[in-house]
Amino acid sequence: MKRFVEGEDRRQGVLLPECLDDFVAEENQVRVIEAFVDELDLTALGFDGITPAATGRPSYHPSVLLKIYIYGYINQIASSRRLEREARRNVELMWLTGRLAPDFKTIADFRKDNGPAIRATCRRFVEMCRRLNLFAHAVAAIDGSKFKAVNARDKNFTRAKLQKRMEQVEASIERYLSALETADRQEGELAEAKSARLKDKIASLRDQMRKFKAIEVAVDAAPDKQISLTDPDARSMATSGKGTGVVGYNVQAAVDTQHHLIVAHEVTNIGNDRSQLSTMAKGAQAAMGVRELTAIADRGYFKSEEILACEAAGVAPLVPKPLTSGAKADGRFGKQDFVYDPGEDVYRCPGGQTLTWRHSNVEEGLTLHCYGTTKCTACALKSKCTLSRERRVKRWEHEAVLDAMQERLDRAPETMRIRRQTAEHPFGTIKAWMGATHFLTRTLEKVRTEMSLHVLAYNLKRMTAILGVQPMIQAVRAA
């Protein structure tokens, strides 16, 4: 006999009432969230409202709201209104909260008022991973990614953008004025109506021009000559696609290469990664609890001072040098074609000559030694080497650090593949969870809190996938 699986009649009474726990399997991830939050010392982490007020309406314990948020961020429900709805209808959330369903304002206020504590909870999870000895490899990949802010591109102004838009408005005013002149020379009802319409348009464009002038003053007064009207901390940033950009934040993450856990993260509104290497590497070193760390990053992080700062802190950076040699681009020898001899402190050029030290100077805060030879004028390769009378090669006083790094990179050609596979994984996952949308909160402080929730959710889900639910619960209780 052919048949389907039959559901129960919803009006059928059940003899033995089922309990909520029956709906949540032993392998359900919410059990990990429950165990993790229950093991936290919320007072030490700095959460508000641990002690209930003696008077007034009873409040929700912070652990309930923290569980709701962790569950929400793991399940792509970051909005407080959607979390309120889910708390009323989602069996897993009912199990997690004991059927408590705070209103969206209470949920939103918790995130708003407990930023530092939420960020400390995220760090606490990484500490727990460290105690479980998950960071034995001591290798971290550092990367940055741009995330959209709650700020449309039209509501972000730089001098150049403003200038362009003012020119557009001026051109429109000119066009309407000449149309108005033509309309004024015509007679009849139609011409009058047209003239009135054009006057309205001109008035509204002039009004817009006044607003742009006021914005121009604000842009000039801003330290970085840029303002965002909806989220004042958001900044216009270029992204990897040519000619594309977002108004948003630059999220930095250090990811351990063994388990792909985010060990340290930071949100900045600086559009490039050049000054982030040592901060992120030291953050990863502290979070992983290692004295010596290998930090891998892409060319965007190459900055001599940052690499030196890493070395001083016990971090061995692996960052390829950007290919920015002007001479090489013009088809002439680049600096990489000259070989340095540290024993004699000279360079050997492609023409077989020796370039010796000539003088030193300071450029952009870096002490540079200049090397040269008098043999260039008679050299057969001169046209491939320099347009000047003699070729000069500059060397930073700490360039040995950069040479040692390049040697390490040459010995480990798979490094950049490891970096890509490691650092881009969490960003890809978190962005897929966020969908096509952006951060939900505004200003740097709140965005930092939101990112910590994303990172905590990612790490918790990743760890559960690695260990399994029950071993993870035991690990959380033991750590």
Which one of residues 24, 129, 139, 379 is an interface residue with ligand SF4 (CB under 6 A)?
379
In the complex, least distance from residue 340 CB atom to ligand SF4, rounded to whole angstroms: 14
* Minimum distance from residue 335 beta carbon to ligand SF4 (Å): 11
Residue 19 is given by DSSP the state P
Among 132, 309, 381, 466, binds ligand SF4 (CB under 6 A): 381
| Backbone torsions φ then ψ of 256, nearest 5 degrees | -75, 135
CB of 144 vs ligand SF4, minimal distance in Å: 38
Closest to ligand SF4 by CB, 351 or 468: 351
Q: What stretch of H or E contains 393? A: strand 392-396
Distance between first and last Cα of the chain: 55
Q: Name residues contacting ligand SF4, limited to 384-403 (CB under 6 A).
A: 385-386, 391
Query: CA 90: distance to chain centroid?
Result: 31
Q: Minimum Å distance from CB 168 to ligand SF4?
A: 51
CB 119 within 8 A of CB 455: no
Distance between alpha carbon 458 and the CA centroid of its chain, in Å?
Answer: 14
Where does residue 454 rank: exposed (0-12), middle (13-18), buried (19+ CB within 10 A)? buried
Tokens 């948003």 belong to residue: 248
- What one-letter code names the amino acid at 96? L
Beta carbon nearer to ligand SF4, 326 or 435: 326
Could you say which residues in the range 313-372 bind ligand SF4, by CB under 6 A? 349-351, 353
Q: How far is CA 252 from CA 280, 431, 432, in A?
A: 7, 14, 17
Q: Which is nearer to ligand SF4, 300 or 334 (CB)?
A: 334
**Residue selected from 382, 419, 446, 448 as contacting ligand SF4 according to rule CB under 6 A:** 382
Kindly state the helix (H) or strand (E) to which residue 256 belongs, with its residue range.
strand 245-256
Distance, in Å, from the CA atom of 200 to the CA atom of 196, rounded to the nearest integer, reads 6
CB of 370 vs ligand SF4, minimal distance in Å: 13
- Residue placing its CB nearer to ligand SF4 in the complex, 353 or 459: 353
Least distance in angstroms from the C-beta of 389 to ligand SF4: 10
Q: Which is nearer to ligand SF4, 320 or 351 (CB)?
A: 351
* Interface with ligand SF4, residue 462, by CB under 6 A: no
The stretch near ligand SF4 (CB under 6 A) out of 50-58, 301-309, 382-390, 444-452 is 382-390
Residue 348 or 425: the one with the smaller Cβ distance to ligand SF4 is: 348
Subset of 18-37 contacting ligand SF4 (CB under 6 A)? none
Per-residue tokens: 335: 């600096």
Q: Considering beta carbons, is residue 217 or 378 the nearer one to ligand SF4?
A: 378
Can you count the helices (H) and strands (E) in the chain? 16, 13
- Evaluated on CA atoms 165, 170, 173, 174, the torsion sign reads negative
| Phi, psi dihedrals of residue 147, rounded to the nearest 5° | -120, 140
Taking the least distance from each CB to ligand SF4, the nearer of 170 and 345 is 345
Binding site for ligand SF4 (CB under 6 A): 349-351, 353, 373, 375-376, 379, 381-382, 385-386, 391
